[in-house]
Structures are given as structure tokens and as C-alpha cells.
Amino acid sequence: MTYSIALNFEDGVTRFIDCKVGEKVLDAAFRQRINLPMDCSDGVCGTCKCRCETGAYDLGDDYIEDALSEDEAFERQVLTCQMVPQSDCVIAVPVPSSTCKTGTAQFAATVASITRHADAALEVSFELDQAPVFLPGQYVNIGVPDSGQTRSYSFSSRPGDKRASFLIKHVPGGLMSGWLERAQPGDAVPMTGPLGSFYLREVARPLLLLAGGTGLAPFLSMLEVLAEREENRPVTLIYGVTRDQDLVMVEVLQAFAKRLPNFNFVTCVADPQTAHPQQGYVTQHMAADVLNHGDVDVYLCGPPPMVDAVRQHFKSQGVTPASFHYEKFTPNAIVTGDAA
């Protein structure tokens, strides 16, 4: 038996290692050629201090307080030279991956299918040479053939599937959109990743998921995992788009509503001329009860103005979510982060 340990580095790179029962994280990483920060390896210096974001572990008592104080331990700071996992874990490593002599994993992919949703988006599936391990919500860089450039897209599929899916915004004249217009099943592309700090944490309270346009993609991956775990806490998704035709994959959300009994979703369209029942932005359809007086974990994926608008909405309502994780994207880049 082994535990899967996700090491999230400061530069957004995530590497997964296997940790044997009773094995310390530092030893497991070294065995798999990842040199986590360390000096003494005896729980004395504190050089290997990281933060365990999810999962169970044992630190023992063979370290000194100068290396890890009681307050730090309470905040889930850990010494990887002493940490023995007792479940799968996610660990934030406060240095770039290059410092640890590692980097993004690379894998080959071939186009399996392309489904076009009018002029709004393309649902693209790839067959992979190996099932990628990632945290639901993370993204990869996909190379655009014959261009020497990459574009970043969040997985919409479940971690561990050998067929990876992505919901890609159709951008007229865009590099990836242009290639996908002529791509055929079997065409090969390189992928690197996983990347990003936007991913589903351990669920400890109600969830509010806010999606803008193709920012729906990472939530489809999260919902797959939540359904698989039979999550029973309330989960609310508010999905906003600009035009009626931008509202895609609603039938998939309806299927999730049947699989997850405490999952509800609302769709809205910003266009004032819409025929959709809910007109406006996500902030206009955020009922007070879903904020749960701040006892809620919020995940937001959308364009930068949407991220700013949601943050301003929370401020105007006097609500500070227990946690707020966001991913904002432009046609060529993704930025992930956390906000108070």
C-alpha cells in the first residue's frame, strides 16, 4: 500500500510521488529524485518546512520547537523530514520546482474527438499515452502543432482517465482555435503539467462554485470527483455567460444534479436581449443563503473582470468566505490564486 502525495511548488508546478506506509515524505521524494529543501533531516533546522493542505499525517515528537512551533503545527505546517502520511496528501512547497531539481511532467496526446458548440466553444478529448495524475481544477499547457507555442487549458475530465477532456473557448483567428478547425482524430500534441494552485481542497463546509464561460471546465472535473466521493455537503454552481449560445453542457450539469443530491446550479446570461430566464451577472444571482454567513468555500473561474466583480460583491455584502480560490484567464494565460 502507498499514499499519493501531491507536491505543489511555488511556481505552480505539481509533482506526484508515492509514499510507502511509515515512510517520511522527504525520503519518499528523494527516492523519486525530487530534492525537497533540507539541511539536517533530523527535525532540528526547519529548512524542510512546508504546509500540508489536505490529508492526514503524523509528525511524531522527534523535532524541536525552534524547527516547528506549536502554533505552526496547529496551522498544518510540517517538517517533511518528520512527516509520515496516513492518507493521500497535498503539500505546498514554498520554493520553485527548479530548486528541487524537478519540473513539469510531459506526456503525449492524440486528438480523439472534437465537439463544436456553435461558435462558442469546442469540447476536445485526447487519448493519452499515460493517465495523467492531477488535482481536480488544475490545468496543462498544450502545444499547438507547427507553432512552437502553447496554450493553457483546465481539465474538464476526471483525474486518472486515459482520455482527457477540455472545454476550449472558440476565439476567431486564435492560434489554438485555428488549429482545431483543421485538426483530425489521431493528430498528436504535446502536453506539460499539471499546473496551478486552483484545485479542490478537502471539503469541510458548503461549496459555492462560480463559473464564467469556459471557466466551467475545471468545475466539471471537480464535480466528477465530488460525485465519486458521494459528497453530501451542499454544492452550488452559478454559471454565467455573455450570450445565449455561450451556455454549453447544461445537460452535463443536469446529470450531476441527479448524481449529487445536494448539488444545485443556476445559469444566467449577461446579454440584456437574452431569452434566458435569468438575465445578468453571477453576482446578481448569488442568493444570501449560499454564502452561509461566510461559512462557505468559494471557487471562481472566469475572466479577470469577473474575479474583481465577485471580490467587490463580497466586500459590499460584508461577507468574508472561509476560503476563496480563484482562477482568472485571458485567451493566452491562466492565473491562479487565493484571496481573503
The per-residue pLDDT for range 77-109, each reduced to its tens digit, is 999 999 999 999 999 999 988 888 887 788 889
Same domain membership, residue 147 and residue 123? yes
Domain-embedded: residue 238 = yes
Domain count for the chain, please give it.
Answer: 3
Domain-embedded: residue 201 = no
Cα–Cα distance between 108 and 143 in angstroms, integer? 10
Same domain membership, residue 147 and residue 88? no
Same domain membership, residue 128 and residue 54? no
Domain-embedded: residue 309 = yes
CB distance 141 to 322 below 8 Å? no
Q: At which of 195, 217, 246 does a domain end?
A: 195
Question: Predicted confidence band at 336 (pLDDT cuts at 50, 70, 90)?
Answer: low
Q: At which of 195, 221, 238 does a domain end?
A: 195
Same domain membership, residue 135 and residue 60? no
Burial class (CB in 10 A: 0-12, 13-18, 19+), 279: middle
Same domain membership, residue 219 and residue 333? yes
pLDDT at residue 272 tops 90: yes
Cα–Cα distance between 110 and 120 in angstroms, integer? 23
Structural domain harbouring 249: 207-338
Task: Give the pLDDT mean for 111-133.
Answer: 90
Same domain membership, residue 50 and residue 22? yes
| pLDDT number for residue 335 | 59
Domain-embedded: residue 200 = no
Give the cell for residue 74: 496547529
What percent of the chain lies above the pLDDT cut of 90? 69
Q: What is the CATH number of the domain that holds 73?
A: 3.10.20.30
**Looking at 196-290, which runs of residues are DSSP E strands?**
207-212, 235-241, 263-269
| pLDDT number for residue 337 | 62
Same domain membership, residue 56 and residue 75? yes
The per-residue pLDDT for range 201-234, each reduced to its tens digit, is 989 999 999 999 999 999 999 999 999 999 999 9
Q: What is the CATH number of the domain that holds 265?
A: 3.40.50.80
User: Please, what is the average pLDDT of the chain?
Assistant: 91
pLDDT at residue 7 tops 80: yes
Same domain membership, residue 112 and residue 96? no
Domain-embedded: residue 67 = yes
Cα–Cα distance between 81 and 38 in angstroms, integer? 8
CB distance 327 to 339 below 8 Å? no
Same domain membership, residue 120 and residue 91? no
Task: Count the Cβ atoms, other than its own, within 10 Å of residue 332.
Answer: 13
The per-residue pLDDT for range 15-25, each reduced to its tens digit, is 999 999 999 99
- Higher pLDDT: 83 or 334? It is 83
pTM of the model: 0.85
Domain-embedded: residue 202 = no
| pLDDT number for residue 340 | 47
- Alpha-carbon distances of 328 from 2, 48, 65, 191, rounded to whole Å: 35, 31, 39, 21
- Alpha-carbon distances of 108 from 87, 146, 194, 280, rounded to whole Å: 30, 15, 13, 41
Same domain membership, residue 218 and residue 187? no
Q: What is the CATH number of the domain that holds 181?
A: 2.40.30.10
3-state DSSP assignment of residue 72: helix
CB distance 338 to 325 below 8 Å? yes
CB distance 168 to 191 below 8 Å? no
pLDDT at residue 332 tops 70: no
Cα–Cα distance between 186 and 253 in angstroms, integer? 29
Same domain membership, residue 116 and residue 40? no
Q: At which of 65, 100, 135 does a domain end?
A: 100
Question: Predicted confidence band at 288 (pLDDT cuts at 50, 70, 90)?
Answer: confident
Cα–Cα distance between 199 and 136 in angstroms, integer? 5
Task: Give the pLDDT mean for 117-145.
Answer: 90
Backbone angles phi, psi at 266, to 5 degrees: -130, 135
Task: Give the pLDDT mean for 30-59.
Answer: 91
Domain-embedded: residue 127 = yes
Same domain membership, residue 186 and residue 220? no
| pLDDT number for residue 333 | 58
